[in-house]
Structures are given as C-alpha cells and as structure tokens.
Amino acid sequence: MSSTHAETTADSSPPTSLQERRSYILELIGAVSVIGFFVGIYFAYQTQIAGVVTQREFDQLQPGQSLAEVNRLLGFEGTLVSSGSVGESEVQPTAPANEDYVWENSTISFVQCTFVDGQLTEKKASDLP
C-alpha cells in the first residue's frame, strides 16, 4: 500500500529531478510552439480573406491603370466613396468622370485612389504595413 501512496504522491507533485524538470519544460515549449503555429496560420488565413494592402502593393500602382488593374494588384475591390465630374461647366458639359475609391485594412491604414475617365490619376496611403 505504501507503493501506491508513493505513486499517487509522485504523479501529483511537481517534477523533482533535473531530468524530470527538463522533460517538463520541453513539453511546455512544445505545446506553446504548436499553439503558436496554429495561431499564426489562423491570422495568416484571416489576412488573406480580409485583404490587407501593403506598402509594396501600393508602390506597384501607376498612373493610367484601370480600376480593375488596381483591384487585382491590391487583392480586393475598393469601395467607391465619391463620384462626379471634374471641371464641368456650360462650355464643357461632358467633363471627365471623377471617382474616388478606398481600400481599407482592418487597422487604421488605407489606400485612396482617384480615377478620371477610368484611369488612375492620384493615389495616397496612410500607415500601410
């Protein structure tokens, strides 16, 4: 009966020998590593789904590109925030169409592009990763 009592006590107490401690620490490191791996995979997947515009992608935008080209380069469709005509007057009633689109990241960062007659004319960004 004393051997059963000793086994129960040994199982419920923290590791005592140096080898047991090392084994316990390695098991903890392994568990944390596995959890970290899956958390990283999850966030990478969410980033792909949500669409995140990076500075590298922003730098690829060039004047004259179409909205479709910009959407493809940035990885998702922008949101139309304003549209109208540039310099419409009585002399020139059919002025070029002007549209502003925004691509927002899940953080405070964003890209804003202006298209005139369907061509990129201006781009600006804030706090891109």
Write down the residue that tokens 């923290």 correspond to. 14
Q: Which CATH number fits domain 53-126: 3.50.50.60, 3.30.1450.10, 1.10.10.60, 2.60.40.1120?
A: 3.30.1450.10
Name the maximum alpha-carbon separation found in the chain: 106
The predicted structure's pLDDT at residue 67? 96
The predicted structure's pLDDT at residue 12? 62
**106/53 Cα distance (integer angstroms):** 10
Q: Which two tokens stand for residue 9?
A: 């006590």
* Each residue's pLDDT tens digit, 16-56: 788 888 888 888 888 888 888 877 776 655 555 557 899 99
The predicted structure's pLDDT at residue 19? 85
